[in-house]
Copies of this chain bind each other. A is one copy, B any other.
Amino acid sequence: MAAIKPSVPKGTRDFSPVEMTRRNYIFETIKSVFRKYGYQQIETPSMENLSTLTGKYGDEGDKLIFKILNSGDFLSKADSAALDARNSNQLTSSISEKALRYDLTVPFARYVVMHQNEITFPFKRFQVQPVWRADRPQKGRYREFYQCDADVVGSDSLLNEAEFILIYDEALSTLGLKDFTIKINNRKILSGIAEIIGKPELIVDMTVAIDKLDKIGMDGVVNELLSKGFTQEDVDKLEPIILLEGSNYEKLNKLRYILSASTIGLKGCEELETIFEYVNRCKLQRATVDLDITLARGLNYYTGAIFEVKTNETFMGSIGGGGRYDDLTGMFGLKGLTGAGISFGADRIYDVLQELNLFPDSVAQTTRVLICCFDKAGEEYALPLLQQLRAENINTELYPAGTKIKKQFDYANNKGVPYVIVIGSDEIESGLLTFKYMESGTQEKLTINQVLTKVK
């Protein structure tokens, strides 16, 4: 067989040992915070029925779903007319019944509906699994990537929103971030603003425009608003709202004044105030909470508070986000289940920690001690020592004999092993092991018990 030069599909990645230890460090930190807050892990299958996913992500989303070809003689059940017309779109559903998960939210909704009789509500679940999207790959955008979500369903208490702020604060502070902002807004406030301007039907255009303030500045926003059907009078009303300044409470007070004629707008202010009250009873570690009226997120989805998290230490898009939605499971026939959720952007957090040099050195250390020897006698002497070290939960390897000692040291260095024990005939005779510190290159003679004390 001719050798194939192997590659991975574009947009996908191998994770090598050092990357894995770092990714695990991020995921384990986030998961342990989720658990500390009472969230429980679930997993759903990588493949869902195509009908479960279709129509949930809009037309553009549907195109990005990876479909799985039916097994066996799939053409025998294929739509003949579509085949003859070479119509890929029309053919798909007759040759593909299953598809890869596009996000974790729709599978979670499907899960809740299927398992509703076993679940005790409020149900606080977290889920950390890969998702797949047939997007055009580019820097920072992959066709396979992990999502890292926590959601609560069956509770309308704003305590949940407050706890999400605490979760972001604790997880990101634990990961070593020193300055980050949790932006918060409320979809009801955005509705209220559109209402008092008298253009409720233009709410999507309005929020899409003001969401760009950071990127295109106030002039850009004004131009976009005018081009979308807002009048100069509308813009004059909007501008002071968009440019609202002060503390969160000052902003809230001004908003309440501006929105005094909008019931829904005032409701949004009240919700945010309650969330702030909860959070003020707690001590945040490193997070700043900032009411940001320009924050929009996927409007058709969220109905209450919305969040987005940004680090202030380096330039990077959002590293997390979420919000409240009124109806998660209606698409599968279970109405009236309200919920709220957040998500961490693991790939971006990885890049931030990398750039700020925040991965602890210990994270990359997998093996702590390497035992090197010269021959079979050395190996046999080493084996009980190896077991002693491992019994103390010290990750230890014995390098198979027959390789030059220099190469064994190289192995230790390449693998980031900090300590090496060398066993030759002297060591076997005296019981004193040569113990080498790989970073400094110094060494000393130690008994196995002294080694255990050093390494622990």
- A residues neighboring B (CB under 8 Å): 1, 3-9, 12-17, 20-21, 24, 35-38, 40-49, 51-52, 55, 63-64, 66-69, 71-76, 78, 83, 86-89, 91-92, 95-98, 100, 110-111, 113-115, 118, 120, 122, 124-125, 130, 132, 134, 143-144, 155, 157, 159-160, 163, 166, 170, 277-278, 281-283, 331-333, 366-367, 370, 379-380, 383-384, 386-387, 390, 393-398, 400-402, 410-411, 414-415
Contact = CB atoms under 8 A, between A and B. Distances in A.
A333 B124 CA distance: 49
Nearest to A402: B157
A23 to B, nearest CB: 8
A401 to B, nearest CB: 7
Contacts of A13: 45
Sorted from nearest, which 5 A-B pairs have the closest CB atoms?
A3-B333, A157-B400, A38-B397, A12-B45, A17-B40
A283 B17 contact: no
B42 A4 contact: no
A71 B66 contact: yes
A50 to B, nearest CB: 9
Contacts of A96: 69
Given A3-B332, A69-B96, A155-B400, 9 more contacts: A15-B43, A17-B42, A37-B395, A46-B144, A66-B71, A67-B68, A83-B83, A278-B379, A278-B380
A359 to B, nearest CB: 16
Given A38-B395, A282-B387, A71 B134 contact: yes
Contacts of A394: 36
Contacts of A277: 380
A7 B281 contact: no
A110 B45 contact: no
Given A1-B55, A9-B97, A159-B379, A16 B115 contact: yes
Given A3-B333, A390-B36, A8 B88 contact: no
A16 B1 contact: no
Contacts of A415: 40, 120
Contacts of A41: 17, 20-21, 24
Nearest to A32: B393
Given A1-B331, A134-B71, A15 B42 contact: yes
Contacts of A332: 3-6
Contact of A45 (B4, B5, B9, B331): B9
Nearest to A91: B75
A410 B120 CA distance: 9
Nearest to A23: B43
Contact of A130 (B46, B49, B331): B46
Contacts of A278: 379-380, 383
B4 A51 contact: yes
Contacts of A3: 331-333
Given A46-B132, A63-B71, A395-B35, A125 B9 contact: no
B42 A20 contact: yes
A267 to B, nearest CB: 17
Nearest to A400: B157
Contacts of A12: 45-47
8 contacts: A4-B51, A8-B45, A8-B49, A17-B125, A36-B390, A76-B86, A159-B379, A283-B387
A89 B394 CA distance: 52
Nearest to A109: B6
A73 to B, nearest CB: 5
A13, A21, A366, A415 pick with most chain B CB within 10 angstroms: A366
A341 to B, nearest CB: 16
Contacts of A43: 14-15, 20
Given A120-B414, A414-B120, A114 B72 contact: no
A46 B46 contact: yes
B24 A400 contact: no
B88 A38 contact: no
Contact of A281 (B160, B380, B396): B380
